[in-house]
Amino acid sequence: MDGNPLVFDEGSLSIHLRPFEAAIAAGAGSIMPYGYSTVPYLGGDAVERTAHESRTVMTELLREKLGYDGLIQTDWGLKHLDAALAGADVLGGAGIREIQRLAGGLALEQVDEKVLRILETKFKLGLFENPYVDPDYAAEFVGNEEHLALAYEAAARSLTLLKHDFSGSPFEKGTILVGGSLADDADALNSGWKVARETATSIFQAIGAVADSLVIAFTAEMPQEQLEAAGCAIVVVGEPASTHQPPWGVDNLEIPAEDLELLRRAKAAELPTISIVVLSRPYVLTELVELSDAVLVVYRPGVSKGAEAIVDALAGRLPIGGRLPVQLPRSMEQVRNQREDLGLDISDPLYDLGYGIKVDSFHKE
| In the chain, domain spans | 10-125, 157-337
| Residue 274 dihedral angles phi and psi, to the nearest 5° | -110, 130
Per-residue pLDDT, averaged over 26-44, amounts to: 94
List 284's β-bridge partners, or say none: 254
AA letter at 167:
S
Dihedral (Cα; 254, 260, 264, 265), 10-degree rounding: 170
pLDDT band at 117 (very low <50, low <70, confident <90, very high): very high
For position 197, what pLDDT does the model report?
A: 63
Q: What is the mean predicted confidence (pLDDT) over 44-65?
A: 97
Q: Can you tell me the mean pLDDT for 282-307?
A: 96
pLDDT of residue 196: 61
Confidence of residue 19 (pLDDT cuts 50, 70, 90): very high
Residue 253's SS3 state is: coil
For 269, phi then psi, to 5°, come to -85, 5
Length of the chain: 365
Of the pLDDT bands very low, low, confident and very high (cuts 50, 70, 90), residue 212 is: confident
Question: Could you tell me if 288 and 162 are in contact, meaning their C-beta atoms sit under 8 angstroms apart?
Answer: no
Cβ-based neighbours of 272, under 8 Å, separated by 6 or more: 166, 167, 170, 173, 231, 232, 233, 293
What does the pLDDT read at residue 120?
A: 95
Measure the CA–CA gap between 157 and 167, rounded to whole angstroms.
22
pLDDT of residue 166: 97
Is the whole-model pTM more than 0.85? yes
Nearest one of 13, 6, 62 to 39, comparing CA atoms: 6
pLDDT tier for residue 326 given thresholds of 50, 70 and 90: very high
Report the share of the chain in percent with pLDDT over 90: 86
**Taking residues 128-134, what's their average pLDDT?**
92
Tell me if residue 347 falls in helix, strand or coil. Answer: coil
In angstroms, the CA 172 to CA 151 distance is 28
Give the pLDDT band of residue 1 (cuts 50, 70, 90).
Answer: confident
Phi, psi (degrees; rounded to nearest 5) at 72: -110, 125
The whole-number pLDDT of residue 43 equals 97
Is residue 192's pLDDT more than 80?
A: no
Q: In 3-state terms, what secondary structure has residue 332?
A: helix
Q: Which CATH number does the domain 157-337 belong to among 3.40.50.1700, 2.130.10.10, 1.10.1740.10, 3.30.70.20? A: 3.40.50.1700
* CB of 235 closer than 8 Å to CB of 288: no
Amino acid 200: pLDDT: 86
Strand order in the sheet with 160-164: 160-164, 294-297, 273-278, 232-238, 176-179, 215-218
Distance from C-alpha of 115 to C-alpha of 40, rounded to nearest angstrom? 30
Q: Is the pLDDT of residue 198 over 90?
A: no
CA separation for the pair 308, 314 (Å, rounded)? 10
In whole angstroms, give the CA distance from residue 285 to residue 160.
14
C-alpha triplet 136, 154, 263: angle, nearest 5°: 120
Nearest-10 crossing angle of helices 306-314, 203-210: 50
Average pLDDT taken over every residue of the chain: 94
For the segment 133-154, the average pLDDT, to the nearest whole number, is 92
Could you tell me the pLDDT band of residue 242, with boundaries at 50, 70 and 90? confident
Whole-number percent of the chain with pLDDT over 70: 98
Backbone angles phi, psi at 128, to 5 degrees: -85, -35
The alpha-helical segments, DSSP class H, found in 174-268 are 203-210, 224-229, 257-268
How many C-beta atoms lie closer than 10 Å to residue 290's C-beta? 10
Beta strand ranges found along the chain (DSSP E): 30-31, 71-72, 160-164, 176-179, 215-218, 232-238, 273-278, 294-297
